[in-house]
């Protein structure tokens, strides 16, 4: 126990307050503020893998590490779509995941946002559309923001969530 | 016939004399499997093809004490009832799902009694699970969408109270037609798709793919490129092990572990990005070598990072070892005893934790592992604790290997030209990824196109063993046991 406590004390807080990348700094600052403004509470996110290669999941998981500390920004990953405000969906959507994805979407209460993650979630990526792949997430459910990358970095994922929260034309 | 006779009857494959190929009829297909199983041979992969690849056939790749043997069973008749071939599920239980997949994708039926669809689901989504009957038995269905940030699949538990009587897996949800998709690419581009069969093992897949391509055209990969490939493979192993060690601590209620290990992993990913230009090495290995050289300064920084990761992991291991709560959850949970592991064909990391001491890096010693001399890690108890121990050992060893590579990196070029392979030539590449042996079989068509490509994940062998590992454990321990195996869905579902 003593070793554990000593270690916690020695390493201290490693969360990046101001990452070197300009855009990253802006995203972190704005995202936290925006969530508080709109929601007045944590933004609840449900992640759905609709057929990805597991690359995007690695980076989505990294959001929870102490460096990005997404919970510190007021974003919480939840286990049920019924608790979610936003769906983070990776693709390409496989034929076998189509129904499951539709059910998750229907189970998420309105108003809800959907962020398509990764090149495959955005446009089908290297798997394309055809055969057992239905391609981009937008082929199955409406998408509010898309985060490109293979896989997208955690910073880009944060920026994608921010985009979905930002008011835009026609929404 | 014994092992030597079969090996002698087989012809060496292209430029790689380590792999021998034998074309057989149905009777010999079965006898090879029997003889090799009796001699301690292991089935690495079983796959099929239809007339689209020239002619319908099934293939089986075996690892034996005398080298790798590829058995091929071609069919003259088009797929239909005539193409029933002898199944191998009694000799290698995990072959059953591969045979079901061969039928789903290529219409070739084996004699296996289990004819339920596997990778291609029924149009109505239905599936006949094996029912457990008895007083107080009930079922818990889980998935395909899981509670955490993981891949989709379905688990059906039959339980009494909290005790698991039976687990039945149902996979194939991420099936996206990867094997068909390969046909849209030429052999050069195919490497990018290979890296995305299973994103967490991108280096292993792209290297295995390149091996399958390069060996047959007789290309000599620059020594520096080969060392950089090994560096990438070890970085992939360390990153995944760090992630798992953290997640395993978290699943046992020790959030401190997740915080510490995910912090270490992030540091390693950043050093990787500085050295290779990206956090995950999906397009680092390409036919002929690697994409881009390592900047000297980034190499030195990476070496320091590996030293740091190694030292920190030792300190964290001490904390894990002394934590009574963790020991309580880890020891004895999800155990697969060595005898059962051998019978089930448990492979790779999970296999080594259950006394199955196979590691291609030390068993085959393909370059550059002939020079690097990786040490084989192993454990015997086969429980969650053993798989945790093995990860700690392998992180230490891979950090050592990575530092050795960076310290003695040979000079020279990092990429050479790869001429297109001859039409109809077949190549096999296998690489010990972090999860286990990854195999890629690649048949070329005219003009550098792909005629047939089969990527095989070690998860095919290990998923059925997970069903055994959870028997008699309690439901709340399943996430922990499952994570300790950490098997692939996408790599398996193709």
Q: Return d(Cα B245, Cα B85) in angstroms, integer.
A: 43
Give how far Cα A153 sits from Cα of A59, B91, B270, Å: 6, 45, 11
- Any idea which residue has 């596997």 for tokens? B118
Tell me if B60 sits within 8 A of B70, measured CB to CB.
Answer: yes
For residue A102, what is the nearest residue in chain B, using CA coordinates?
B145
Per-residue pLDDT of chain B (494 residues; tens, 9 = 90+): 677 888 888 888 765 677 889 999 888 999 999 999 999 899 999 999 988 888 899 999 999 888 889 999 998 876 666 678 999 999 999 999 999 999 999 999 999 999 999 999 988 888 999 999 999 999 999 989 998 899 999 999 999 999 999 999 999 999 999 999 999 999 999 999 999 999 999 999 999 999 999 977 778 899 999 999 999 999 999 999 999 999 999 999 999 999 999 999 999 999 999 999 999 999 999 999 999 899 889 999 999 999 999 999 999 999 999 999 999 999 999 999 999 999 999 999 999 999 999 998 988 888 899 899 899 999 999 999 999 999 999 999 999 999 999 999 999 999 998 888 888 888 899 999 999 999 999 999 888 899 999 999 999 999 999 999 999 999 999 999 999 999 999 999 99
> Which chain A residue shows the shortest CA-CA distance from B240?
A58
Measured from the Cβ of residue B17, the count of other Cβ atoms closer than 10 Å reads 11
End-to-end Cα spacing for chain A: 52
pLDDT of A169 higher than 60: no
A-interface mutation test, from B104, B176, B319, B488, most A Cβ less than 10 A away: B176
Identify the sign of the CA torsion B224, B227, B228, B229. positive
Assigned token pair, B344 = 């089930």
For the question of an ipTM over 0.90, the answer is yes
Query: Could you give the dihedral angle defined by the CA atoms of residues B220, B221, B223 and B228, in that order, rounded to the nearest 10 degrees?
Result: -170
Inter-CA distances, B316 with A158, B306, B396, Å? 30, 15, 12
Contacts of B133 (CB under 8 A, 6+ apart): none
N-term to C-term CA, chain B: 35
Q: Which helix (H) or strand (E) holds B349?
A: helix B348-353
**What's residue A163's pLDDT?**
87
The domain B180-485 is placed in CATH, from the list 1.10.645.10, 1.10.3720.10, 1.10.287.3510, 3.90.25.10, at 1.10.645.10
* Residue B147 backbone dihedrals phi, psi, to 5 degrees: -70, -30
- The structural domains of chain B, with segments of one domain joined by +, span 3-106, 137-170, 180-485
Q: Residue B364, exposed/middle/buried by CB under 10 A (0-12, 13-18, 19+)?
A: middle
pLDDT at A25: 57
Measure the CA–CA gap between B459 and B456, rounded to whole angstroms: 8
Using CB atoms within 10 Å of the CB of residue B162, give its burial: 0 to 12 exposed, 13 to 18 middle, 19+ buried. exposed
pLDDT, tens only, B238-262: 999 999 999 999 999 999 999 999 9
Instruction: Give the count of beta carbons closer than 10 Å to the beta carbon of residue B189.
Output: 16
| Under 8 Å between Cβ of B265 and B313 | no
Contact A128 B184 (CB under 8 A): yes
A163 CB near a chain B CB, below 8 Å? no
- Per DSSP (E only), the strands in B277-425 are 285-286, 289-290
Check CB contact under 8 Å for A132 and B148.
no
> What are residue B22's DSSP bridge partners?
B71
Average per-residue pLDDT for chain A: 88
pLDDT given at position A36: 83
Q: What pLDDT is stored for residue B317 in this prediction?
A: 96
From residue B425, how far is each of B71, B90, B217, B428, B448 by CA, in Å?
15, 32, 10, 10, 11
Contact between chains at A97 and B174 (C-beta distance less than 8 A): yes
Residue A19 reports pLDDT greater than 70: no
| Dihedral Cα B80, B85, B90, B94, nearest 10 deg | -60
Q: Which of 3.30.460.80, 3.40.50.2000, 3.90.100.10, 3.40.190.10 is the CATH number of B3-106?
A: 3.30.460.80
Whether omega before B91 lies within 30 degrees of 0, making that bond cis, reads: no
B130 CB-near residues (< 8 Å, 6+ apart) = B166, B168
Q: Does A2 touch chain B (CB under 8 A)?
A: no
Q: What is the pLDDT of residue B26?
A: 84
What kind and span of H or E run contains B441? strand B437-444
Structure tokens at A131: 């055969």
Is any Cβ of chain B less than 8 angstroms from the Cβ of A65? yes
Q: What is the pLDDT of residues A131-160, one digit of tens each?
A: 899 999 999 999 999 999 999 999 999 989
Q: What is the pLDDT of residue A27?
A: 76
Of A97, A128, A132, the CB nearest to B152: A97
The reply to whether A16 touches chain B by the CB within 8 Å rule is no
State the smallest CA–CA distance between residue B284 and chain A in angstroms: 13
Longest dimension (CA), chain B: 70
Paired with B428 in beta bridges are B441
What residue ranges define each of the domains in chain A, with the CATH number in brackets? 21-165 (3.40.50.12280)
- Report chain A's C-alpha Rg in angstroms: 17
Of A53, A61, A125, the CB nearest to B149: A61
| A22-64 tens-digit pLDDT | 565 577 778 888 888 888 888 999 999 999 999 999 999 999 9
Question: Using CB atoms and an 8 Å cut-off, which of residues 98-137 of chain A contact chain B?
Answer: 99-100, 104, 125-128, 130-133
3-state secondary structure of B273: helix
């Amino acid at each position: 126990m003593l070793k554990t406590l000593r270690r916690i004390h020695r390493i201290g807080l490693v969360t990046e307050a101001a990452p070197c990348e300009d855009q990253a700094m802006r995203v972190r600052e704005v995202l936290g503020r925006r969530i508080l403004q709109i929601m007045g509470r944590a933004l609840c996110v449900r992640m759905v893998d609709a057929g990805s290669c597991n690359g995007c999941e690695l980076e989505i998981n990294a959001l929870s590490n102490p460096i990005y500390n997404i919970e510190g920004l007021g974003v919480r990953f939840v286990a049920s779509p019924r608790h979610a405000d936003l769906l983070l969906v990776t693709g390409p959507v496989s034929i076998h995941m189509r129904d499951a994805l539709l059910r998750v979407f229907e189970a998420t209460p309105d108003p809800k946002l959907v962020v398509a993650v990764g090149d495959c979630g955005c446009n089908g990526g290297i798997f394309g559309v055809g055969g057992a792949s239905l391609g981009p997430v937008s082929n199955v459910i409406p998408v509010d923001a898309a985060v490109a990358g293979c896989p997208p970095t955690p910073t880009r994922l944060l920026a994608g969530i921010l985009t979905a929260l930002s008011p835009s034309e026609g929404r | 016939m014994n092992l030597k006779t079969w090996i002698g009857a087989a012809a060496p494959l292209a430029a790689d004399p380590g792999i021998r190929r034998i074309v057989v009829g149905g009777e010999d297909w079965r006898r090879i499997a029997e003889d090799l199983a009796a001699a301690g041979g292991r089935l690495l992969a079983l796959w099929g093809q239809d007339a689209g690849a020239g002619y319908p056939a099934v293939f089986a790749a075996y690892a034996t004490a005398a080298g790798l043997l590829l058995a091929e069973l071609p069919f003259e008749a088009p797929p239909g009832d005539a193409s029933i071939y002898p199944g191998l599920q009694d000799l290698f239980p995990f072959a059953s799902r591969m045979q079901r997949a061969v039928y789903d994708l290529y219409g070739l039926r084996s004699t296996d009694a289990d004819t339920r669809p596997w990778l291609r689901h029924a149009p109505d989504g239905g599936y006949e699970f094996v029912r457990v009957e008895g007083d107080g038995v009930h079922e818990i269905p889980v998935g395909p969408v899981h509670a955490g940030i993981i891949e989709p699949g379905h688990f059906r538990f039959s339980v009494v109270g909290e005790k698991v009587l039976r687990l039945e897996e149902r996979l194939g949800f991420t099936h996206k037609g990867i094997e068909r998709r390969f046909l849209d690419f030429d052999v050069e581009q195919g490497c990018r798709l290979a890296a995305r069969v299973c994103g967490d093992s991108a280096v292993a897949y792209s290297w295995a793919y390149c091996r399958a391509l390069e060996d047959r055209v007789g290309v000599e990969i620059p020594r520096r490129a080969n060392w950089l490939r090994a560096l990438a493979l070890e970085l992939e192993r360390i990153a995944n092990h760090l992630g798992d060690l953290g997640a395993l601590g978290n699943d046992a209620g020790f959030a401190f572990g997740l915080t510490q290990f995910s912090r270490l992993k992030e540091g390693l990913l950043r050093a990787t990005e500085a050295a290779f230009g990206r956090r995950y090495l999906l397009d680092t290995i390409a036919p002929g070598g690697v994409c881009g050289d390592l900047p000297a300064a980034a190499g030195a920084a990476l070496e320091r990072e590996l030293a740091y990761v190694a030292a920190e992991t030792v300190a964290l291991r001490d904390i894990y070892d002394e934590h009574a709560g963790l020991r309580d959850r880890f020891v004895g949970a999800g155990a697969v005893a060595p005898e059962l592991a051998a019978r089930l064909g448990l492979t790779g990391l999970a296999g080594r934790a259950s006394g199955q001491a196979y590691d291609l890096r030390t068993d085959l010693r393909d370059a550059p592992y002939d020079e690097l001399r990786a040490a084989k890690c192993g454990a015997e108890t086969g429980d969650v604790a053993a798989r945790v121990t093995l990860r700690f050992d392998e992180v230490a060893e891979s950090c050592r290997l990575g530092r050795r590579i960076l310290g003695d990196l040979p000079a020279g070029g990092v990429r050479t030209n790869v001429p297109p392979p001859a039409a109809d030539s077949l190549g096999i590449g296998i690489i010990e990824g972090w999860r286990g042996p990854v195999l890629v079989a690649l048949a070329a068509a005219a003009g550098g196109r792909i005629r047939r490509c089969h990527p095989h994940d070690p998860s095919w062998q290990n998923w059925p063993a997970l069903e055994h590992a959870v028997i008699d454990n309690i439901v709340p321990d399943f996430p922990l046991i499952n994570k300790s195996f950490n098997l692939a869905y996408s790599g398996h579902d193709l």
